[in-house]
Each structure stands twice: as structure tokens, then as C-alpha cells.
């Protein structure tokens, strides 16, 4: 459980970092709207989003708060009480930190502050919390696929008739 507490604290630290970046974005970007970060590639653009990814469920603040809060409670309990490999703990820590960062915005102001905009493609403006959640989910999917491949490889190596010689064959 102590190990889980460390990763829970890591998630809280990610949420705190997200909030600090959003304070910076509100203080410095809101007055100017946008500024180039890597010209022609990425710009900093101040945007408020009252929905979730791609503005889905826009205007459903309390539903988003309730669902996100419930999911994050489960994630925190998983981190605290479930035995798992370190990579899986990192995955859940990233999801917890990112989800909590955006949840704080929704509870406090009703909208999420976004500030990263790809200029070379059509993509919604996003933030550090979104990066944490997406990275966590991506690593979770990768971990599940690698576990499946590993299990199948082990099962095929243990399957009878794979190069086995027995007395009956002689």
C-alpha cells in the first residue's frame, strides 16, 4: 500500500503541475489569445472548453464532474490496493493526474483551460492533463497487447506436439 501511496502522490503532483501551467496560460495567454511556440508547428492558444475530448458532452458540466469523479476514485483505489507491475502503476498515475487536473477546472470554473494547438493539422486545442490521460491510456493499451502476445507465446511453447518426443513416438 505504501508503494501505491507514492504513485497516488505522483498523480497529485501531475495535477498540481497541470494547474500551475493553466494559471500561467490564464495570466499570460488570455490577454493576447495566442503566441507561437514552434512557428508553423505548435502555438500556444488560450481556449476554454466546457466539454471533454473534441468538445463531446459540451454543456454537461455536472455529468462530466460526476463520471470523472467516480472513475478517478476507482483509479485511486486501484493504485492503493491492487498489486501490479510498475508500468501499470505509472499508467494509472498518469490517468489520475490528468483526470484530476481537468476535474479541478470543471469544478472550479465549469470549463477546462486548453492551450496547445497544432498548426500543421486540424486537431482540438489541448493541455498537459490531456497529454497525461492520453499517454496513460496509450501505455495501458500497449501493456495489454504485450501481455496478450506474451501469454500466447507461452501457451504455444507449452502446447503438446511442439517438437516433443515421447516413448510413443519411438
Known catalytic residues are 114, 130
Of 130, 81, 76, 70, residue with least CA distance to 101: 130
Sequential DSSP letters for 147-161? HHHHHHHHHHHHSTT
Q: Is the dihedral of CA 137, 25, 66, 3 positive or negative?
A: positive
Q: Exposed, middle or buried: residue 104 (CB in 10 Å: 0-12, 13-18, 19+)? A: middle
Buried b (16+ CB within 10 A) or exposed e, 141-163: eebeeeeeeeeeeeeeeeeeeee
Cα gap 149→12, rounded to integer Å: 33
Amino acid at each position: 500500500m505504501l508503494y501505491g501511496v507514492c504513485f497516488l502522490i505522483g498523480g497529485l503532483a501531475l495535477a498540481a503541475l497541470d494547474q500551475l501551467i493553466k494559471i500561467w496560460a490564464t495570466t499570460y495567454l488570455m490577454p493576447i489569445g495566442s503566441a507561437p511556440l514552434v512557428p508553423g508547428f505548435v502555438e500556444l492558444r488560450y481556449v476554454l472548453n466546457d466539454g471533454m475530448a473534441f468538445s463531446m458532452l459540451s454543456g454537461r458540466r455536472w455529468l462530466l464532474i460526476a463520471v470523472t469523479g467516480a472513475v478517478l476514485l476507482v483509479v485511486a483505489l486501484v493504485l492503493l490496493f491492487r498489486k501490479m507491475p510498475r508500468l501499470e502503476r505509472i499508467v494509472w498515475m498518469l490517468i489520475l493526474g490528468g483526470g484530476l487536473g481537468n476535474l479541478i477546472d470543471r469544478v472550479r470554473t465549469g470549463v477546462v483551460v486548453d492551450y496547445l494547438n497544432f498548426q500543421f493539422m486540424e486537431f482540438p486545442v489541448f493541455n498537459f492533463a490531456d497529454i497525461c490521460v492520453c499517454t496513460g491510456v496509450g501505455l495501458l493499451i500497449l501493456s495489454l497487447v504485450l501481455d496478450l502476445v506474451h501469454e500466447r507465446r507461452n501457451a504455444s511453447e507449452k502446447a503438446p506436439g511442439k517438437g516433443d518426443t515421447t516413448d510413443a513416438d519411438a
